[in-house]
Amino acid sequence: MSTTQTQAITPQLRQWIVEQAEAGHSADVVLKSMLASGWKEDVAVEAMESTLRGHLENKALQEGLPPALAVPDPGLDESPLYIDAGDRRVCVLQAMYNPRVVVFGGLLSDGECEGLIALAKPRLARSLTVATKTGGEEVNADRTSNGMFFQRGENELVRTIEARIARLVAWPEENGEGLQVLHYVPGTEYKPHYDYFDPSEPGTPTILKRGGQRVATIVMYLGEPDKGGGTTFPDVHLQIAPKRGNAVFFSYERPHPSTRTLHGGAPVLAGEKWIATKWLRERRFT
Ligand code: PD2
Ligand code: ZN
């Protein structure tokens, strides 16, 4: 086949790709075999990606999983060391694909961390969680921090950070819930949980009216504890150190444990931990 001709991704090709995957051949092996048969690399990669994505989605739906949603994501295909987040260059320290977890260095300056803490301090109260039975809010023994919410765009510092995050993970600012600041002292923690709303809970339809599902979370570390207080992902035995100015981003394309996004804030053992959490919804959050 001439290289100037467009190569068509036929149903037969898609079926062959699925058969190879089901026979246990790795993506690398299948790609090499396609290249050896004269497929152009970009066409082969696109054929494999779209076919396997579609195949996995069909399987997931057959197994009764909720459909996959579009999610925010920092573009890391070319493994950049830094991302231009508009007003700041943010470092990519670590990236994982399943679950999708990205650790950023220097998302916030020390001054911004201190500014958020100072604005939040007078407004702290015992943290609540969403009451999934009713769609309201409740005190929860699994979450023993104190916290507060800023309104979206409430002040210049909040607006700056919201714009930076929107650019960093390519997701509209208006889809974000208000920034939440949390304060943990020794002994307090946030036990492992999922940030999405469980579709089987009776209060979930009410919650979803305000912008649909949560699809991603960014936890920004504002103040470092001396010991403990890492953000944990128990399914994959991952723990992120709560280093000031750094942040962990994770996304979940369906409200289901198969995303492996179970996560928690480990108990603080010494010193104080301050974080700011930003939850991102499917649509405009109202
Ligand atoms: O404090 C944390 O590290 C943490 C852990 C899990 C925060 C959240 N979840 C959250 O705010 O959703
Ligand atoms: Zn969480």
pLDDT of residue 142: 75
pLDDT above 90 covers a percentage of the chain that reads 85
Residue 160 token pair = 């700056």
Task: Name the residue at shortest CA distance from atom 9 of ligand 1.
Answer: 264
- The answer to whether the CB of 251 falls within 8 A of the CB of 138 is no
User: In the numeric block, which tokens belong to residue 170?
Assistant: 């390519």
The predicted model scores a pTM of 0.87
State residue 108's pLDDT score: 98
Check pocket membership of 251 for ligand 1, CB cut-off 6 A.
no
State the average pLDDT for the chain: 94
Q: Give residue 82 CA to ligand 1 midpoint distance, Å.
A: 24
- Return the closest-CA partner of residue 29 out of 18, 40, 41, 21: 21
**Digit-coded pLDDT (tens) for 133-149:** 777 888 777 788 899 99
CB of 179 closer than 8 Å to CB of 149:
yes
Neighbour-count burial of 105, counting CB atoms closer than 10 A to its CB (0-12 exposed, 13-18 middle, 19+ buried): middle
Pairing of strands 82-84, 89-96: antiparallel
- Residue 58 pLDDT: 87
Q: What CATH number has the domain spanning 82-281?
A: 2.60.120.620
Which atom number of ligand 1 is nearest to the Cα of residue 230?
3
For residue 190, the CA-to-ligand 1 centroid distance in Å is 6
Q: What is the pLDDT of residue 167?
A: 98
The pLDDT > 70 percentage for the chain reads 98
Indicate which residue's Cα is closest to atom 1 of ligand 1: 265
Amino acid at 36: A
| Pocket flag, ligand 1, residue 72 (CB < 6 Å) | no
pLDDT at 5: 60
For the chain, give every domain's residue range.
11-62, 82-281
Neighbours of 276 (CB within 10 A): 25
Mutate to test the pocket of ligand 1, among 142, 182, 197, 232 (most ligand atoms within 8 A of CB): 182
Confidence of residue 283 (pLDDT cuts 50, 70, 90): very high
Q: Is residue 1 pLDDT above 60, yes or no?
A: no
Write the CB contacts of 281 (distance below 8 Å, at least 6 apart in sequence).
Answer: 175, 176, 177, 210, 211, 212, 213, 214, 215
